[in-house]
Amino acid sequence: MSRDFYLTHNPETVVRISLWLRCGGCCGCSGLAGSLLLPGRVVLPAGRRGHPQSLVPASVFDITAEQVISSRVTFNDIDMCHMNNARYLRECDFARFSLYTRNGYELRSRIVTWDDKAFYLEQRFVSTKDGLVCAVMYCKQSVIRTTPDKIMQHLCKRKVECPEFPEDLQHWLERVPWFHTFPETLEMLLLLVVCALLLLFCCLDVWYFLRGVQVFLEACFQPGVPDLLAEQTVDGVVTTHDLDYMGHMNNSRYLRECDFARFHHYLRNGFFTASRKLGAKMVVGASTIRYRRSLNFREAFAIRTKVLGWDDKAFYLEQRFVSKKDGFVSAVMLCRQNVVHSSPEKVIDFVCKKKIECPELSEDLKHWIDYIAASSQALRAESGLEDKNK
Q: Are residues 352 and 263 in the same domain?
A: yes
Average pLDDT over residues 237-266: 94
Average pLDDT over residues 13-25: 42
- Domain boundary residue among 122, 145, 165? 165
* 185 occurs within a structural domain: no
- Which pLDDT score is estimated for 310? 95
- Which pLDDT score is estimated for 386? 64
- Which pLDDT score is estimated for 307? 96
Assess whether pLDDT exceeds 60 at residue 300.
yes
Q: Are residues 233 and 303 in the same domain?
A: yes
Rg (CA), the chain: 38
* 199 occurs within a structural domain: no
Q: Are residues 112 and 259 in the same domain?
A: no
- Which pLDDT score is estimated for 155? 86
* 174 occurs within a structural domain: no
Cross-strand partners of 291: 331
Higher-pLDDT residue of 377, 26: 377
Q: Are residues 266 and 151 in the same domain?
A: no
Output the 3-class SS for the chain: CCCCEEECCCHHHCCCCHHHHHCCHHHHHHCCCCCEECCCCCEEECCCCCCHHHCCCCCCCCCCCCEEEEECCCHHHECCCCECHHHHHHHHHHHCCCCCCCCCEEEEEEEEEECCCEEEEEEEEEECCCCCEEEEEEEEEEEECCCHHHHHHHHHCCCCCCCCCCHHHHHHHHHHHHHHHHHHHHHHHHHHHHHHHHHHHHHCCHHHHHHHHHHHHHHHCCCCCCCCCCCEEEEEECCHHHECCCCEECHHHHHHHHHHHHHHHHHHHCHHHHHHHCCCEEEEEEEEEEECCCCECCCEEEEEEEEEEECCCEEEEEEEEEECCCCCEEEEEEEEEEEECCCHHHHHHHHHCCCCCCCCCCHHHHHHHHHHHHHHHHHHHHHCHHHHHC
Q: Are residues 10 and 120 in the same domain?
A: yes
19 touches 59 (CB < 8 A): no
Size (the chain), residues: 390
* 316 occurs within a structural domain: yes
**Residue 148 structural domain:** 5-165
Average pLDDT over residues 101-116: 76
Q: Are residues 110 and 252 in the same domain?
A: no
* 302 occurs within a structural domain: yes
Higher-pLDDT residue of 178, 132: 132
Using CA atoms, how far residue 235 sits from 194, 213, 264, 320, 356, in Å, is: 32, 16, 11, 12, 29
Total tally of structural domains belonging to the chain: 2
Residue type, 19: L
Q: Are residues 140 and 243 in the same domain?
A: no
* 120 occurs within a structural domain: yes
Average pLDDT over residues 291-295: 95
- Domain boundary residue among 165, 184, 208? 165
Strand 105-114 and strand 67-71: the pairing is antiparallel
Q: Are residues 9 and 157 in the same domain?
A: yes
Q: How confident is the model at residue 156 (pLDDT cuts 50, 70, 90)?
A: confident
Assess whether pLDDT exceeds 60 at residue 1.
no
Determine what percent of the chain is predicted with pLDDT higher than 70: 76
* 12 occurs within a structural domain: yes
Q: How confident is the model at residue 17 (pLDDT cuts 50, 70, 90)?
A: very low
167 touches 159 (CB < 8 A): no
Which of 64, 115, 123, 63 has the alpha carbon at shortest distance from 98?
123
CATH number at residue 153: 3.10.129
Q: Are residues 229 and 121 in the same domain?
A: no
Q: Are residues 152 and 229 in the same domain?
A: no
- Which pLDDT score is estimated for 141? 87
Q: Which residues contact 6 (CB under 8 A, 6 or more apart)?
A: 43, 44, 45, 46, 47, 49, 100
151 touches 27 (CB < 8 A): no
Between the ranges 17-26, 120-129, 313-322, where is the mean pLDDT highest? Answer: 313-322
Q: Are residues 250 and 338 in the same domain?
A: yes
- Domain boundary residue among 125, 145, 165? 165
Q: Are residues 230 and 157 in the same domain?
A: no
* 308 occurs within a structural domain: yes
Q: What is the average pLDDT score of the chain?
A: 79
380 CB neighbour count, 10 Å cutoff:
14
Assess whether pLDDT exceeds 60 at residue 128.
yes
- Which pLDDT score is estimated for 68? 77
Assess whether pLDDT exceeds 70 at residue 181.
no
